[in-house]
Structure 1
């Protein structure tokens, strides 16, 4: 025989379930603008029918339903789209960082402009032409010397500025690794909390969201692989479990390095060819990244095995690294090496011509460009001979070549040769002139900058497409939530009305029916 109060219980379950759905809808609406929030839904399911199976089960026609219950509250998420998003985020992180590094370099070189090195070289050449026409003019000599000082200062300024940016990139690598360590620690702690909740049969959806936000952030820094491990106990089938995070490498012998497993996590450290300073920044060009503690125990990624993805790899490529041949490579080391080479070859060629000439006193010319620190001349230390700088008459503008007509002191022929150094093809510059070589360097940088900007735009477009797809699945739509709110409200009202009907029926039975035989 069925229970007299069965209808009340069925409707009560309906009210409670619709109430849970309304509360979940309110939670969604409240988090409509929360970054990284995934909308949630109540998975409703019918409760077991009456009567249940068994030898003692009553025999009756039909099989009565007993109502509904909230089986679980699940967030709406697509793991495949998440994987796509993180892959595109990885590419964007690399190219954004590279674009920023190139942009800073372009700001320092400032070419073409009225103040860059190219203009200084052009002004120097112009002053030498003027000197060739007026070799005995003290003003022309002073201007030529000052323009030479300007060339040296331009080399010094560019080298110093690029070196400072390179140092800042090294510090940024240190800051980024600290950020990685913070993310790994937080993921491990969230894994611990999730592992405590899931075995009790609950779904910690907000903890899942917090963990996925961290994984998204980590994917922009380094290429990652994500696996999940069930928590056990009374965990629901749809529970995600703890996440295992692996760093992907190009090393066939060690393609993955596990850095988070359950609540255990590793710490990342950058190592330069001079080690690491007290603040955790690399000293010298990068050689490797080291993971210590946690599931990785002690593991190393050589910089040459870093995948070409993520902002950390981009920072390494810009700051400088030691390649498999032991050579220093990278955006800033390469540019500094080219500038050093250019300054050295130019100074050597200019000095050779200057020392073949005669100054205004008839003495053989001294070296015009010298090193400020006694080391071989490069862009950092190139300067003007102090003797010439103090006495412009020491500028060897004339020649004593017997084949030159009118070879007396002050004929200006050597000044022409000095000017020609800027346009002569020099073996040390791969057969290019100083002007052509520098133009090629600037042109190559421009091409790299243009490529990086295009790649950023492409990555933003692709990431935007994936992000929109993910939002269409996981984000909160207020229109949809308002529709759900009305739907659940009406269902709640209907269940409440059903209780009223059952109550009236029972009232008739209990209070309205007489006692037999009275």
Structure 2
């Protein structure tokens, strides 16, 4: 038979278990607004039954329940939704970085507007049209020089502004890599703490939450894969184990970042300061270092020989594609790519072709002194590299502008002839087919094959193509950012519906556990009355 005090023990266990459940509910309510907190619950299990000898069961003894006990305190988390959220966060980080970079580029170029390069050059061409009607007018000649200076200043402003933003992106990449290294170190430290707790049979839920929050933050920077490894020992079946974190490359390869309490750092193949100097250096690869800073043999090239990006997606890649990267193609040549390097290169081509063509057309005419035209714009070098930054207006007087195509026999300018001014004004719409331009009023042609514009069309169409590509890329980045944001928010809402604290649900649980606790207390009172009757009310016969 069971003990006389069996009922007291069952009620006592019920009191302790319901009290633990109330304490856990209170902890959930207290952390309802804590970022990264996952709600917890007490896993209640019945205690081992007590065998009771049965008078009519000679073979098998009966059993009687002995109550309930508070088992593990488990956090409620769905790892599948965590993986989905991190995948969408990686995409969001990538597209948001590109969107931000392209938005800054659009602000600098400021097209279409009355203050952009297109408007400034339009005013310059218009001043030449006006000069063609009054070729000897000193005021009109002065306007041409002033607006030519404005064109050069605008090229300087655009080149300097884009380079400055590129430098800032380089600094942001350096800070991003430092942040990634800090996250990897913190995750490895949490792995070490969890590894020392789990083998004892405990569930370090707060450490789990901190670690998952760090992994979520890491997934914004790069695409990562999380693998769980058991900690060993007397670990609980609900234990989540140790995280092994790898970076996924665009080529499908995995690169180890965190393995237990060990981690690898990320860095660049060259010094970090290269990213923010006056002439930013394209990134070739990401180098791995051990926790003490010694370089490892493993490195990740940004792109393979065909130009396909092999680095993992995420905010870090979005910034690298904006800042600029390089790779060696199958022919052994180094190729530079990137949104800002490409735009600066196109701007240099435009400035170089504009200045070179203008000078050649200008040299075909005659100034007021009857001399052939001199170069109007000065460039450093014979290639387009750095032309937008280097272009400047030559030191000319108003009489040096060569707008006439004919001179008299005594060498003076033919009065009223402004044919070359029209040729100069028509430069933006001249077709550069096969690199050759035909001039009006003369049989002369100009070969543009060495100027590096690299396409048929005109100066106007080339610049329009630059702005058009920028607009399309910016629209795509905005659209993809919004799509990624909506998807990540949708997954996060599903994740929060599982792991976040609902105050309504917790209040309901509190009432449930409170009633159970009161019932257990009432059970103790009832058992106490029974024992009082047995002890004090029995054994009085014969007195």
After TM superposition, the score normalised by the length of structure 2 is 0.89
Matched, 1:338 2:346: yes
SS of the residue 2:300 aligns to: strand
Matched, 1:380 2:377: no
Contact kept? 1:373, 1:381, Cα under 8 Å: no
Which deviations, in whole Å up to 9, do the C-alpha atoms of 1:459-485 show, x marking residues without a partner?
111111111111111111111111100
Residue 101 and residue 78 in structure 1: after superposition, are their counterparts in 2 closer, same or farther (change >3 A)?
same
Matched, 1:32 2:32: yes
Question: What is the count of residue pairs matched by the alignment?
Answer: 506
Match of 1:353 among 346, 358, 361: 361
Contact kept? 1:192, 1:262, Cα under 8 Å: yes
SS of the residue 1:106 aligns to: helix
Match of 1:293 in 2: 290
TM-superposed CA distance for 1:514, in Å, is 3.5
* 1:95-174 aligned within 5 A: 95-174=95-174
Residue 395 and residue 410 in structure 1: after superposition, are their counterparts in 2 closer, same or farther (change >3 A)?
farther
- Taking the aligned partners of 1:61 and 1:509, their CA distance within structure 2 comes to 27
Contact kept? 2:167, 2:275, Cα under 8 Å: no
SS of the residue 1:115 aligns to: coil
Where in structure 1 are there 5+ consecutive unaligned residues? none
Match of 2:508 in 1: 483
Match of 2:539 in 1: 514
TM-superposed CA distance for 1:323, in Å, is 2.6
Match of 1:231 in 2: 231
- Taking the aligned partners of 2:525 and 2:16, their CA distance within structure 1 comes to 16
Match of 2:302 in 1: 303
- Taking the aligned partners of 1:60 and 1:440, their CA distance within structure 2 comes to 91
* 1:413-492 aligned within 5 A: 413-426=419-432, 427=435, 428-492=453-517
Contact kept? 1:288, 1:303, Cα under 8 Å: yes
Contact kept? 1:259, 1:294, Cα under 8 Å: no
Match of 1:327 among 315, 335, 343: 335
Matched, 1:408 2:414: yes
Contact kept? 2:352, 2:379, Cα under 8 Å: no
* 1:146-295 aligned within 5 A: 146-251=146-251, 255-271=253-269, 275-277=271-273, 284-293=281-290
Which deviations, in whole Å up to 9, do the C-alpha atoms of 1:354-405 show, x marking residues without a partner?
111111222211111102689866111111002x1xx121111212279xxx
- Taking the aligned partners of 2:188 and 2:510, their CA distance within structure 1 comes to 36
- RMSD of aligned residue pairs (Cα, Å): 2.5
- Taking the aligned partners of 1:186 and 1:333, their CA distance within structure 2 comes to 35
- Taking the aligned partners of 1:90 and 1:407, their CA distance within structure 2 comes to 68
Contact kept? 1:359, 1:409, Cα under 8 Å: no
After TM superposition, the score normalised by the length of structure 1 is 0.93
TM-superposed CA distance for 1:277, in Å, is 2.5
Contact kept? 1:38, 1:474, Cα under 8 Å: yes
TM-superposed CA distance for 1:283, in Å, is 5.5
Match of 2:375 among 362, 367, 372: 367
Contact kept? 1:270, 1:280, Cα under 8 Å: no
TM-superposed CA distance for 1:7, in Å, is 1.1
- Taking the aligned partners of 1:414 and 1:401, their CA distance within structure 2 comes to 12
Match of 1:84 in 2: 84
SS of the residue 1:203 aligns to: coil
Contact kept? 2:20, 2:70, Cα under 8 Å: yes
TM-superposed CA distance for 1:32, in Å, is 1.1
SS of the residue 1:327 aligns to: strand
Please say which of residues 474-483 and 393-402 is displaced more in the overlay. Answer: 393-402
TM-superposed CA distance for 1:30, in Å, is 1.1
Residue 280 and residue 361 in structure 1: after superposition, are their counterparts in 2 closer, same or farther (change >3 A)?
closer
Which deviations, in whole Å up to 9, do the C-alpha atoms of 1:426-468 show, x marking residues without a partner?
2335112111111111011001111111101111111111111
Contact kept? 1:177, 1:270, Cα under 8 Å: no
Matched, 1:11 2:11: yes
Which deviations, in whole Å up to 9, do the C-alpha atoms of 1:161-198 show, x marking residues without a partner?
00000011111110000000010011011111111111
Contact kept? 1:358, 1:409, Cα under 8 Å: no
Which deviations, in whole Å up to 9, do the C-alpha atoms of 1:52-110 show, x marking residues without a partner?
99xxxx99963111111111111111111111110000000000000000000000000
Where in structure 2 are there 5+ consecutive unaligned residues? 304-308, 436-452
Residue 478 and residue 442 in structure 1: after superposition, are their counterparts in 2 closer, same or farther (change >3 A)?
same
TM-superposed CA distance for 1:214, in Å, is 0.6
Residue 319 and residue 279 in structure 1: after superposition, are their counterparts in 2 closer, same or farther (change >3 A)?
closer
